[in-house]
Chains A and B, each alone.
Chain A
Amino acid sequence: MEWDWAFVREIMPTLLDGLKITVLATVLGSALAAVVGLAFALLRRSPNRLVSRITAFLVEFIRGTPLLVQLYFLFYVLPGAGILLSPLTAGVIGLGVHYATYMAEVFRAGIDNTPRGQWEAAKACNLTAVQTWQHIILPQAIPPMIPALANYFVAMFKETPLLSAITVVELMSQARSVANFNYRYLEPMTLVGVLFLAISLIAVPALHLLERRFRRYR
């Protein structure tokens, strides 16, 4: 088993194409996860018991079932009900909604950590509920959550190979296809690992920088 640099050069463009899709799926998926996760967190706090119960059940249900099963449902089962999604769309939705259930917990904890006095001051300032969330609670609650959210971002990134199961041509599926075609696994799989590691190593400090920028008041 010998490392073949010529083979590396040959397959690199294909792998980088796959990496683009992987990064795209992660970025779109985490944006969706953040928005839906926040929505889950807010709905769970709804004074309407029915709304909060249904949300709690939905979150439990999504978190308690495997992502791979959810992806199969989105891509192979939903068309039976007339809902046709492209592989990438199904992948982003699956990844995003699955991780939203984890991010919802982070949001919930962050929101609960905002001192009660802030809610009371907002009320004394006669802000509406929406204004209180927008201007007082979320701007304070979100910066401390960024490290935890960054962990999920990296975890999502590393889960994207699952999308190859629903024919998304991301990094892992590109690597597998060049490997199968050439009967050489060493270089493609090593490169997949290296590329994932490289992106993770860049992403984590970048997200911490983001956190520090948001926390200017500390």
Chain B
Amino acid sequence: MANMRVALFITCFNDTLFPETGRATVGVLERLGHEVVFPEAQTCCGQMHFNTGYQREAIPLVRRFVEIFEPYDAVVAPSGSCVGMVRDLYPMAADLAEDDDLARRIEDLAPKVFELSEFLVKRLGVTDVGAYYPHRVTYHPTCHSLRMLKVGEAPLELLRNVRGMDLVELGEAEQCCGFGGTFAVKNAETSAAMLGDKIRRVLDTEAEVCAAGDNSCLMHIGGGLRRLQAGVDTVHLAEILHSTEER
């Protein structure tokens, strides 16, 4: 695979709360020899607004995103959820805006927007990024990477090639952790009930680290684990892949 110029779609959530995930994403892509650019005009893809029902309010954000990212051949984000928004729900936003031109531009852009693990495995054909991570890790496949993007085994293939790592399977892994964006606030009790079961499964694995491809889900799972003083960390997939023996 020839070296590529990749636009990083950091997502507002990672930008503000999890900058280390962004730095790791840049690091992994550069280690593989690709050029990473960061279009600084980017803000938010509009997912929170759109999924909460504030869809008219999301339309300007959709337009901005398309304008900012359409010049690039590949757009990569360390978030299955935000990529899912672009690929699955942007067409609905264009419909709502009754904007055929926007719809066409989304159709062109959407296939070029990737979640990190699918970009590495499916687009670049890389399953070993030369990472080293000497910990016991369990992996939670987040709903949007699993069912919207259908990344399948891609994250697990990457993790299996990480040296020094003890990867343990999570029970009922495919069940939602209960985050769901504003769901976690609007239906806080139900969300907590789902979280309780996810935490039980995580603790069953006796892992030190619970990994995933979305920091939103990890913030929710990790917030619960920390409240319980469970002694289990949550780490984004990108950070594991970025970790080497040297650092």
Genuine A/B complex: no
